[in-house]
Each structure stands twice: as C-alpha cells, then as structure tokens.
Chains A and B, each alone.
Chain A
Amino acid sequence: MSETGIGAALRRKEDARFLTGTGTFTDDISRPGQLYAHIVRSPYAHAKITAIDTTEAAAAPGVAAVLTGKDMAADGVNPLPCGWQIHSRDGSPMAEPGHPALAVDTVRHVGDRVAVVVAETRHQAREAGALVEVTYEALPAAASITAALADGAPLVHEDVPGNLCFDWEIGDAAAVDEAFAEAAHVVELDLVNQRLIPNAIEPRAAIGEYDAASDMTTLYTTSQNPHLIRLLLGAFVMGLPEHKLRVVAPDVGGGFGSKIFHYPEEVIVTWAARRLGRPVKWTATRSESFQSDAHGRDHVTHGELALAEDGTFLGLRVSTKANLGAYLSTFGSAVPTYLYGTLFAGCYKTPAIYGNVKAVFTHTVPVDAYRGAGRPEAAFMLERLVDLAARKLSMSPVVIRRRNFIEAFPYATPVALEYDAGDYHATLDMALQLADYDGFEARREEARGRGKLRGIGLSTFVEACGIAPSAVAGALGARAGLYESGQIRVHPTGSVTVYTGTHSHGQGHETTFAQLVSEHLGVDVDAVDVVHGDSAKSSFGMGTYGSRSLAVGGNAIYMAMQKVIEKGRKIAAHLMEASPDDVEFERGVFRVAGTDKEKTLGEVALTAYVPHDYPEDLEPGLDETAFYDPKNFTFPAGAHVVEVEVDPETGTVELVNVSCADDVGTVVNPMIVDGQMHGGLAQGIGQALLERAVYDDSGQLVTGSYMNYTMPRAADLPSFTLGTHVTECTHNPLGVKGVGEVGSIGVPPAVINAVVDALAHLGVTHVEMPATPEKVWRTIRDAQA
C-alpha cells in the first residue's frame, strides 16, 4: 500500500472548496439575464382543475410569463416516463398512467404542480404566484394503502382500476406451501415499514437555459445522474437531441436517492427557458421539498417463517402492499420488486421463498428509492422474523442465525440472485466482540438497578449493490443499461484527468478515484483531477445510487487505466528498443524486465503527444475510455449490534452502543468508508426511532417541515463502533462491493430487536418504527394492563 493508494485514509481533495464556501451548488449559479420561477402547487390531494385565471398574475410587476399545463401540452411536451417496467404475475404489464410535469385537469397530491410564474426576481415570482387563481373541485382522496385498496376507493387514475399498478410475485409458491406443511414451527408478523422523507439538506434546484446561436439547451440541476436526466428529458419528454442538450449537476448537497429521479421542475424550467429565450431558475423551499421530493419506503407487510424443530429455516412467505404515491417515479416500480424481493433470502439458506407485492397508487407524493431502496424493507422484515423465531424456540438470536448462515459460495438463492462471496460468521464474530455481547447480561442487571430496561439486538444481512448487469436488469424490466464509463486522460506532462459517469454528492469520489489512479498508474493524487456531473464532459454514465459508483464506475476507471498501460507499454518498448512483452509496468514506471532500462509514465505520455520517435502503427495521444458492465451484483454483508436503555417512565429509548462489522469488499479509503457507514447508520436509526411521514385522511401532509418531521440531530445519536472484515468481490477487478447503503439497511432491525429485547419480559413481541417515546410508553402500559 502506498500512502495515497488503495487502503490509505487520504484526506479529501474536495474538502477545501466546501470548507471555504467556494463550492458551486446549483442555487449558487446565476446565469446572465436569469429569471426566477415559482411553482403554483395544489393545496388538495385530489381535485379537478376547473379554471385557471392568470390575468392578475401576468400583470404583476416583473412577471415575464404565467404558464399552465395546457400551455405545456400544446407545446408537445410529453409526460415523464418510468424507467422500469414490471409485469404482474398474470403476465400483464404494470399500469403506467402519465405523469405530466404540469397537471392539466386533475391534481393528485398536495404539492402537485399546477402553473409556473416566471419573473425578474424571486420575490416577484412568488408574489405573483399568489395571484394565480385556480378553481378546484375538491374530490375525495385515497391517502393510504388501506384507503386506496378499499372498495369504492377514489381512483388516483381513472384508467387504473382498484388503484393497483401491478401485482408481482417472486419465488416458488408451491415449494413454500410444502415447507410450511412440514414445519415444526411457524412465526408470523404484521409490520409497517413507514414512509420516510429523504431530506438532503440542499433543496432541489434547477436552471434552464437556451442559446439560440448554437441551438443548445442547458439544464443545471441537483441530480445524482445528469446523463440519465439528459436521456429522459431529451429523448422522452421534450424531444431534444442529445447533442443539443447538456445537463450539468454541479456540487450537489446530498441525495440519498431523492435526486436520482427526473423531476417535473427540470422539465418546467427547461421548457420555460426555451419559450422565453432567457435562463429560468427555480429553487425549492424546504416546504416544497417535503411536498415534491420523492419519498421512501411505505410498505405494509405480512411475513411468515417456517422452521424445523432445531431452528433450521424451511420456508419464507411474504406478502407486501407497497405505496407508489400518485405517479410512477423514475425507479418507483423497481424498488418494491427487484430491489426488495430478491433480498428475501438475506444471509440464510432458506430453501423455499415466495413473495407477492401489490403496488398501489395513492394521493400522496410519489415514492421511490431512498438510501437502501427495498433492501432495508427486506432486511427489516427478515431480521424481525428471525428474532421472533429465536424467542419462540428459546434459542439465542446468535445461534439461530449461525445455524442458517450461507457458508459456501457461490450461492444461488431461491429469489434470483447468486452471491459470489462473503463470510457471515466472521462479521458476526467481529460485531459480537465489538459490542461485548457476552457481557451484556451483567449490564442489563446493572441497568435494572437504575430502573432502566436494557436490551440488545442484532441483525445480520446482505445487500445487493453495484447495480447492475445490463442484460439481467433488462430482462427484469429496466429500460436502461446500467454499466458505467470511465475515461483516463493522461496529459503530455503526465498529470491525469479522470472522467466518470458517476456523480459525487458527498461520497468523496474526487479522492477515492484519484487513489485508484495513484495505486494503478503511480501518479501523485495531487496530479489527478476527477471530473463528473456534466454530460458535456463525461462521455456517458448512469450516475450514483445503489452503492454503484466504485463497484461499477471504479471498475470502468480501472479498465481504462489498463488500456493506458497497454498503450504505454508499446510506446515504452519502442523507446527502450524492447519487445512490449518484455516491458513491465509498476508504480508509474515501465521497465524492461530483468534490466535497469526504464521510462516513466510522464516520459511515455510526452512521447505520445510529441510522437517524433514513435511506433509506426500506433496512434498518438494517451487518452483511453472504458465501459464496464458488471457481471453480477455485489453483495456487501454485515452484522450490527445495538444496545438500548428504555426508560419505562417516559418510553424514551437511549442508544447506548451501536457496533457494526461490515464486509464491503476491498476498502479504498477507510476514512471515507467509515463516514459512509456513519451516515447510513444515522438514517437507519432515524427510521427506527424518529422519522415518519404522516398524511391525514384527506391527503394533507402533516409532517411538512422540520418542525414536525423528526430529523436525527447530533444529540439523538451516539458515536459508532465500527469494524471491517474484507472478502473481496470475485467478479470485479478491484474486489469492491459498495458501502453507501449498508448502515441504513442493517441497523433498523437491530434497533427494534434491541427495544423488543428490553421489553420482552413484559410479553412484548414487536414495536413498530419509529419507536418514539409515546409508542414505547404505550406499549409498556398496554403490556402491563
């Protein structure tokens, strides 16, 4: 390991600009002649728009235009597409109602877009927005899964009967029935995986711009995947050819999934800018974020686990109803299906698994991927069932897990995945040691003396990351390939620019990817720049989500470096009058094997750009691109142990210890990996203890601000104890798996298992998330009644 290569806790290259206030976030950008957009949004969850009077707003000071859905439709702007087609178990394709960027005659959630006011200043746009007179005919709303599936429920889309988007299945129902028939024990559980609001601290923003001279349209946007937005906006929504559409996602202030998707506001500012011939900027208020960023989770699930007498898992049956919200968001259909059902095996050898998912439209904000995306829902369901089973069989939660761990790889699950590598005992061993699991009962006893109920809980889990092998994804309904591009441009004096189609919005790619170059090309990290987030600079890419950036994008960069080395070897061989086969490359130096003849990468690069003495059949230049399509998903895994103290007087849950051992494959930068773990854990703990999006029956979002949606704050969280055990991914050259989502997947069931453990002596078997003081206090009171 070098000081700056793979394995080094290198301090981040990007920090200087963020720490000095010189980063460039979308709202920091101002374009010459820029106008400001204010979106008029529906105050109703469900209503007919009977009239829109824009007269007064249009006459207000500074207003350039007031535009509605009818104007947009008249201009031929298409609805937003969904990126993943699911088929129901009867073979029929999912219902795919249109999602117009501006509603035309019906609004379907509070915050749905009705009109846009464009004015000279932000204040003028907002004030004129209040003058747009929209006449609504309010209609009954179906604001929850239960309401939407009730007989005679209001329809979210008139052409989608029963509000059912699809009815999907995975696994072998007959084999599962057989397993349950033979089982010595069955445990079952009804649970809710509650709706969450991602809440990146940077609100979404977008600037549309049109340059008539070049006929070029540019969109600046807070996106995790600018190339995908260009594809969707250009090819599907607005009919703009890709060479005339540039999408820039500059510094982006957190995403967690919510900035993957193509949003109506991106269409609105781009369309308005082209109509008006001036740049148009929109920045969300936090209230708008709550009402328009895609939400996450929102499942209602019944799970059943069949076991043999000795605790061996025989079968798993899962039935889930998933809330999609009012419209299909970009990946909304993939999350409760192929990112969820495929993880039902977890890290266990359960031989028979069957799952059914009914996806439902409701009059709420669309639901899509949020950190973990389907996998937290799977892990929570499974790890709660496993704990229930351990209690029923009077087995240790450690022993029942070990008895069922997958131990031989590759392992084909009954739900479509093939795990390539892992060592689940090793991560569990490490987590138990970090948590001093064996010493717990003494701590429980000590706490009891202080009047506190202490509990310990664990979860062991697998996730599928590095989305995705394109052919597999395509066969499952993805409408895009999910490879990644990487380009290595070695400059004439030997410095390097890396171009990637992934996007960094906190993950530290500028550092991690520079470390890859340092490791494999021997170039100083200070001589490496990483460029991302601009469709005009990186050739193509699918962006950052699903912990894919290093596992897919990093391997594309690795492959581009191999091409650089191969070409450099030929140049070096020519310069040293040797055969390319005899030239070795190590740490930035080409050397004729067994001799002291050598040329540095810098010398070779200079020769490539000044090819006076050069191989005859070789092109000048040293600039290589690779596209990497993964052969399989990657399978990070881990064990999380959480210890809590419950105050029975108040129901307050205090986290006294969070210990995690994770296998995320090869670790490039342990400091960054730990940081990713911390953030994921905070969001997972937020789900377990604090966060919940609440709609009332009329479809009003009750938790619409930081006053009433409980974000984790510093004092809500402990410091975390982390360990890493590496098994390398076997099918990518870097051996990496991904770390972005591990914390949010693994920790929620560990927290709830700990809370249940603390209350188990009262007969408590389950506590729904979030385990707020009120809920825990009521649980204790009801148990004692």
Chain B
Amino acid sequence: MPTVTLTVNERAHTTDVESRTLLVELLRDLLGLTGTHVGCDTSQCGACTVLVDGRSVKSCTTLAVDVAGSAVTTIEGLAANGKLHPMQAAFKEHHGLQCGYCTPGMVMSALDLAGRNADPSEAEVREWLEGNLCRCTGYHNIVKAVQEGARAMGGAS
C-alpha cells in the first residue's frame, strides 16, 4: 500500500492509501475534510475542485499518489482567525450560493482565476466557470461574487 506525504491546508500529512485512492477520498474519508464534495462521476460538475500547488484541479479524478509532495488547499483552509477569505466574503455579500453544495468547488475555482486575472470581466468569469455546475443560482450572483472577490484580492492568491 503506497504511502503519501502531502500538505493539506498547511498541515503535513503522511497517509497510507491504495494506489487507486482518489484525492477526494483522501480528503473526505481519511482526513475528514468533508467540505470538498462529489457531484458526478465524469469530472464535469466541479464540486470537488481543490487547489494543488495553487492550481484548481478536480479531486475526483486525481489520484492521491499523484499529489505526493504537493500543497493542497481545500475550502476548509481559506478562512483565518474566524474571518472569511475575501472570495468567501464576496460569495456571501452577493448571495453567490444557495444550497451550498457546489460552493466549495466554485470558490476554489474562482481563487485560481483571481490569481491569474485580478479584474475579470463578466464574460471571462462565465467562460472560466465552464467546469463548475450550479443548479440553484443561475450563476447570476456567482459571477458577481467572483468578480468582486477577485478585485478584493487584488491579484493575491
């Protein structure tokens, strides 16, 4: 059984996994980080999106052994000292979530965009989110939240 050492939300973990164990299974089942969700089995919905070394990836189609040595950030790793991250705050301020199920993936994906583009246009946000499905919001307020969150981050990641 392979052993994987990685950093999740700035904490180091060394865990035995099966070679087929997916990153999302490592996060949810082994580390108890249930904020990352699974919404499909074809890598389409993006609910499982996390950051691996700063880049958004779908953790439902990433093998745990492939992220050995990487730094993973999940939705649980964003708020600090009881204060929401600017992107989280923007989602709350602009009502960018309803049921909350796709939300972690949306926020993590948005962070990747914000790191690349500090002031994305509406069209750029809509294009970027093609890998994340939301059934509740019609995306209207998610788009506003991502734009506002990216601006609030000012190019930081």
Complex contacts, A254 vs chain B, CB 8 Å: 98-99, 101, 135-136
Contact flags (1/0) for B83-101 with A, using CB distance below 8 Å? 0100010011101011111
Q: How far in angstroms is the closest Cβ of chain B from A409?
A: 31
Instruction: Please judge, given known A-B contacts A15-B91, A719-B143, whether A506 and B100 are in contact too, CB under 8 Å.
Output: yes
Q: Does A256 belong to the interface (CB within 8 Å)?
A: yes
Evaluate contact between A682 and B34: CB separation under 8 angstroms: no
Evaluate contact between B37 and A25: CB separation under 8 angstroms: yes
Evaluate contact between B101 and A714: CB separation under 8 angstroms: no
Evaluate contact between A202 and B39: CB separation under 8 angstroms: yes
A705 touches which of B35, B42, B98, B134 (Cβ 8 Å) = B42
Q: Does B52 belong to the interface (CB within 8 Å)?
A: no
Evaluate contact between B135 and A679: CB separation under 8 angstroms: yes
Evaluate contact between A19 and B107: CB separation under 8 angstroms: yes
Complex contacts, A717 vs chain B, CB 8 Å: 126, 138-140
Within residues 183 to 230 of chain A, which ones have a CB less than 8 A from any CB in chain B? 198-203
Q: Does B51 belong to the interface (CB within 8 Å)?
A: no
**Bound state CA distance, A252 and B99, in angstroms?**
7
Within residues 45 to 81 of chain B, which ones have a CB less than 8 A from any CB in chain A? 45, 47, 74-76, 78-79
Complex contacts, B92 vs chain A, CB 8 Å: 11-12, 15-16, 19
Complex contacts, A720 vs chain B, CB 8 Å: 138, 140
Of the 9-residue stretches A492-500, A535-543, A670-678, which lies at the interface with chain B? A670-678
B138 touches which of A285, A678, A706 (Cβ 8 Å) = A678
Complex contacts, A123 vs chain B, CB 8 Å: 18, 20
Within residues 6 to 64 of chain B, which ones have a CB less than 8 A from any CB in chain A? 18, 20, 28, 33-42, 44-45, 47
Within residues 84 to 122 of chain B, which ones have a CB less than 8 A from any CB in chain A? 84, 88, 91-93, 95, 97-104, 107, 122
For chain A, the bracket of interface size reads 35 or more
Complex contacts, A251 vs chain B, CB 8 Å: 99-100
**Bound state CA distance, A714 and B109, in angstroms?**
13
Complex contacts, A682 vs chain B, CB 8 Å: 135, 137-139
Q: How far in angstroms is the closest Cβ of chain A from B57?
A: 17
Q: Does B133 belong to the interface (CB within 8 Å)?
A: yes
Evaluate contact between B98 and A506: CB separation under 8 angstroms: yes
Evaluate contact between A21 and B99: CB separation under 8 angstroms: no
Evaluate contact between A713 and B88: CB separation under 8 angstroms: no
Contact flags (1/0) for A393-406 with B, using CB distance below 8 Å? 00000000000000
Q: Which of A12, A20, A505, A711 has the most CB of B within 10 A?
A: A20
Complex contacts, B42 vs chain A, CB 8 Å: 286, 705-707
Evaluate contact between A705 and B40: CB separation under 8 angstroms: yes
Q: Does B125 belong to the interface (CB within 8 Å)?
A: yes
Evaluate contact between B78 and A714: CB separation under 8 angstroms: no
Q: Which residue of A lies closest to B85 (CB)?
A: A19
Evaluate contact between A671 and B41: CB separation under 8 angstroms: no
A199 touches which of B100, B127, B135 (Cβ 8 Å) = B135
Evaluate contact between B101 and A19: CB separation under 8 angstroms: no
Instruction: Please judge, given known A-B contacts A254-B136, A706-B42, A717-B139, whether A22 and B101 are in contact too, CB under 8 Å.
Output: no
Within residues 643 to 681 of chain A, which ones have a CB less than 8 A from any CB in chain B? 671-672, 674-675, 678-681
Looking at chain B's contact residues, the main secondary structure is loop
Q: Does A28 belong to the interface (CB within 8 Å)?
A: yes
Evaluate contact between A18 and B103: CB separation under 8 angstroms: yes
Evaluate contact between B93 and A11: CB separation under 8 angstroms: yes
Instruction: Please judge, given known A-B contacts A287-B41, A683-B135, A714-B142, whether A671 and B98 are in contact too, CB under 8 Å.
Output: no
Q: Does B5 belong to the interface (CB within 8 Å)?
A: no
Report the interface size for chain B: residues with CB under 8 A from the other chain: 55
Evaluate contact between B138 and A253: CB separation under 8 angstroms: no
Complex contacts, B47 vs chain A, CB 8 Å: 201
Complex contacts, A256 vs chain B, CB 8 Å: 135
**Bound state CA distance, A713 and B40, in angstroms?**
15
Evaluate contact between A12 and B95: CB separation under 8 angstroms: yes
Q: Does A507 belong to the interface (CB within 8 Å)?
A: yes
Q: Does B152 belong to the interface (CB within 8 Å)?
A: no
B34 touches which of A21, A199, A285, A743 (Cβ 8 Å) = A21
Complex contacts, B39 vs chain A, CB 8 Å: 201-203, 253, 286
Q: Which residue of A lies closest to B77 (CB)?
A: A21
**Bound state CA distance, A710 and B132, in angstroms?**
13
Complex contacts, B40 vs chain A, CB 8 Å: 286, 705-706
Evaluate contact between A679 and B136: CB separation under 8 angstroms: yes
**Bound state CA distance, A19 and B139, in angstroms?**
16
Q: Which residue of A lies closest to B40 (CB)?
A: A286
Evaluate contact between B36 and A21: CB separation under 8 angstroms: yes
Complex contacts, A198 vs chain B, CB 8 Å: 135
**Bound state CA distance, A429 and B147, in angstroms?**
32
B141 touches which of A18, A27, A507, A675 (Cβ 8 Å) = A675
Complex contacts, A20 vs chain B, CB 8 Å: 35, 75-76, 78-79, 84, 88
**Bound state CA distance, A678 and B47, in angstroms?**
20
Q: Which residue of A lies closest to B98 (CB)?
A: A506
Q: Does A140 belong to the interface (CB within 8 Å)?
A: no
**Bound state CA distance, A690 and B74, in angstroms?**
32
Complex contacts, A25 vs chain B, CB 8 Å: 34, 37, 101
Evaluate contact between B99 and A505: CB separation under 8 angstroms: yes
Complex contacts, B129 vs chain A, CB 8 Å: 713-715
Q: How far in angstroms is the closest Cβ of chain A from B76?
A: 4
B88 touches which of A19, A287, A675, A683 (Cβ 8 Å) = A19
Q: Which of B35, B98, B125, B143 has the most CB of A within 10 A?
A: B98
Q: Which residue of A lies closest to B128 (CB)?
A: A714
Complex contacts, B101 vs chain A, CB 8 Å: 25, 200-202, 253-254
Q: Does A14 belong to the interface (CB within 8 Å)?
A: yes
Evaluate contact between B41 and A21: CB separation under 8 angstroms: no
Beyond contacts A202-B39, A679-B135, A715-B123: 11 other A-B pairs, Cβ-Cβ < 8 A, are: A16-B84, A19-B88, A20-B88, A201-B47, A201-B99, A201-B133, A201-B134, A705-B41, A713-B139, A714-B129, A714-B143
A-B contact pairs, 9 of them (CB 8 A): A19-B103, A20-B79, A27-B34, A28-B34, A200-B99, A254-B135, A707-B44, A711-B133, A714-B143
A-B interface, 9 closest residue pairs, ranked by CB to CB distance from nearest: A21-B35, A253-B101, A18-B100, A682-B138, A506-B99, A506-B98, A706-B44, A678-B138, A21-B75
Residues of A within 8 A of B (CB): 11-12, 14-25, 27-28, 123, 198-203, 251-254, 256, 285-287, 505-508, 671-672, 674-675, 678-683, 705-707, 711-715, 717, 719-720, 743
